[in-house]
Chains A and B, each alone.
Chain A
């Protein structure tokens, strides 16, 4: 037992040692668990990405770039440097001008063109119409208007993770889906927590016939094929994300109820509960003040393991096409789109898969770490 050090400086100095609470000890143990700390760090990054990522990302998750459908992931900006001039040339053929010189200087396109007839300055619109060029201006016109020098800004975009089959930035979509996943994880787990704790504590506390009936309900719900239940809920609640996850939470509370009930039954016979009863505290008061706070440890452990389960479930439903709807997206939707496009664009499958796996990994490791930290019997 190295947790309780006996030769701390305080003791040596003869000062009173402050008792460590359960939570302080747990935190200390958690800090020593490297896997859990790394997971916590990754998780904080994910939360940051979920909250502010979509705002920081240069592209909106629903913006469509029709010129860049399914461009592979790359650090280089699009259009690639060698593609700009051919693009400009193909656009300029429609102006029927003789191109004398064309070059790209940084982000500006420089064109010298001439024609046998007088040049209409409105022909710059051909260039404007293309998504790549903007702010086209005529710098110089010769006296007879038969040759011009014009410049245009080249809009260069970066798609670090590439774009999807509709030409939307994959990075922005992954960031938004992380936000959705985390939100749903928190929401559904919260619902499961409230129902499960209330149900389990009531059943365990009242005991007898009430307990029997309440736990039989849990048993029956357990026997229902779960996927079926989730699909029915989706069908029933329509495709509203928030309602749907209230519904998922309403399914996932069964384990929570069992855990809390077991804890409550053992707490029920403890002296402090009997003392409270003897003092005439109402049942509701005992539940709120004495029973529920004491079940918190196992509940927190189960909660951290429930979050990845819920996120996984959401991705699973979205994968089947039952989850969030376009243009909003989630990791499950992205993975299923990736699976459909994997022959031509494997990165569309790989990046969302990595994002989901890493998130689930860190949540699971953190949950395991918390269990080790909060439950000393297990060690």
Chain B
């Protein structure tokens, strides 16, 4: 087990390496630099800045320099947010993004599996059609439509919740962003659970459990659910990635200080180190999440073995 985890983590290193290399050079090919302004900086100032940030060296030297720093766990200084290192920026933004993403994921798992199970138990009834319709709606309507509409309805017209802002992460401030992030995931999870639950309810072990005379609730929650949640578990990897990228929009609209906006800001301002830092964080997240998913899978389905 531990050997498997270690092997998987080591196996991710080449992938991460390729991602880092590719984004490093893509970023540098793009025209413009971090110190381009409407009014050009004085030649001497620019020269000094370039020297301080090692931008005057050949590209391959910069690349090796960056890799060397990275190996020591140093992501470098930010170019646009002066006086801050990329670690500091990500360190302040990441907890917020994780808090949002994790809440949204939990909410989506809870509501999605309940809706999906109900739809599967009442297959082809109006409840089933209702859930399917809501799911289609949730998948189709983009989050940058949902977010401002929610903010308009609950924040402006009804004045029930703050229309934006973080406010030290109070539940009232979190509610709308989390709902926006969770909505498409609720839809996808409900669909997945509905499909696999219908199959699970027809399977032999559920029939056996019923034959033993176990109460219906027990059969559904313990016996059918275990088989039905497998597709959802394997969806968690992509879901985590979607939540991280979805947070770009949500953070922009609700004005939250997460990492999503650093990403966009950084790319626009050619803040090389900041963008690289964000990319690495997201890539590591996806890799780790995929590993967790595989381990969870093995725990839930004894037929799956990792040696």
Least CB distance, B259 to chain A, in whole angstroms:
12
Are B23's CB and A316's CB within 8 A?
Answer: no
Interface set, chain A 176-190, CB cutoff 8 A to B: none
Are B145's CB and A343's CB within 8 A?
Answer: no
In the complex, whether B70 has a CB less than 8 A from a CB of chain A is no
How does the 8 Å CB contact mask read for A204-235 relative to B, with 1 for contact and 0 for none?
00000000000000001001111110011001
Are A319's CB and B144's CB within 8 A?
Answer: yes
Known: A223-B19, A228-B275, A316-B142. A349 touches B149 (CB 8 A): yes
Interface set, chain B 255-278, CB cutoff 8 A to A: 263-264, 267-268, 270, 275, 278
Count of chain B residues with a beta carbon within 8 Å of a chain A beta carbon: 43
| CA of A319 to CA of B263, assembled, Å | 15
In the complex, whether A249 has a CB less than 8 A from a CB of chain B is no
| CA of A232 to CA of B22, assembled, Å | 11
Least CB distance, A351 to chain B, in whole angstroms:
12
Are A231's CB and B267's CB within 8 A?
Answer: yes
Chain A residues with Cβ under 8 A from B233's Cβ? Answer: none
| CA of A356 to CA of B148, assembled, Å | 14
Which of A121-129, A264-272, A332-340 forms contacts with chain B?
A332-340
Interface set, chain A 68-100, CB cutoff 8 A to B: none
| CA of A319 to CA of B141, assembled, Å | 14
Least CB distance, B105 to chain A, in whole angstroms:
18
Least CB distance, B249 to chain A, in whole angstroms:
7
Which of B1-9, B39-47, B279-287 forms contacts with chain A?
B279-287
Interface size class of A (residues with CB under 8 A): 35 or more
Which residue from chain A places its CB closest to the CB of B285 in the assembled complex?
A225
Number of A-B residue pairs, CB cutoff 8 Å, is 107
In the complex, whether B18 has a CB less than 8 A from a CB of chain A is yes
Chain B residues with Cβ under 8 A from A227's Cβ? Answer: 245, 248, 263
In the complex, whether A285 has a CB less than 8 A from a CB of chain B is no
**Chain A at the B interface: mostly helix, strand, loop or mixed?**
helix
Are B149's CB and A353's CB within 8 A?
Answer: yes
In the complex, whether A66 has a CB less than 8 A from a CB of chain B is no
Are B144's CB and A228's CB within 8 A?
Answer: no
Chain B residues with Cβ under 8 A from A361's Cβ? Answer: 136, 140
| CA of A67 to CA of B252, assembled, Å | 32
Which residue from chain B places its CB closest to the CB of A359 in the assembled complex?
B140
Chain A residues with Cβ under 8 A from B102's Cβ? Answer: none
How does the 8 Å CB contact mask read for B137-180 relative to A, with 1 for contact and 0 for none?
00111101101110110001100000000000000000000000
Q: Which of A332, A342, A356 contacts B152 (CB 8 A)?
A: A342
In the complex, whether B15 has a CB less than 8 A from a CB of chain A is yes
Are A315's CB and B19's CB within 8 A?
Answer: no
Q: Which of A228, A236, A322, A342 contacts B30 (CB 8 A)?
A: A236
Which residue from chain B places its CB closest to the CB of A236 in the assembled complex?
B30
Are B142's CB and A342's CB within 8 A?
Answer: no
In the complex, whether B225 has a CB less than 8 A from a CB of chain A is no
In the complex, whether B253 has a CB less than 8 A from a CB of chain A is yes
Chain A residues with Cβ under 8 A from B23's Cβ? Answer: 224, 228, 232
Q: Which of B18, B136, B253, B286 contacts A339 (CB 8 A)?
A: B253
User: Nearest 9 CB-CB pairs, A to B?
Assistant: A339-B148, A231-B267, A236-B30, A353-B145, A227-B245, A225-B282, A342-B152, A235-B30, A319-B144
14 A-B residue contacts at CB 8 Å? A224-B19, A228-B267, A231-B268, A235-B270, A236-B26, A316-B144, A319-B144, A320-B249, A339-B151, A339-B253, A342-B148, A349-B149, A349-B152, A357-B140
**Other CB < 8 Å A-B pairs besides A224-B283, A320-B248, A338-B148, 5 of them?**
A220-B15, A231-B268, A236-B26, A308-B140, A353-B145
Please report A residues at the B interface, Cβ cutoff 8 Å.
220, 223-228, 231-232, 235-236, 238, 308, 312, 315-316, 319-320, 322, 332, 335-336, 338-339, 342-343, 346, 349-350, 353, 356-357, 360-361, 364-365
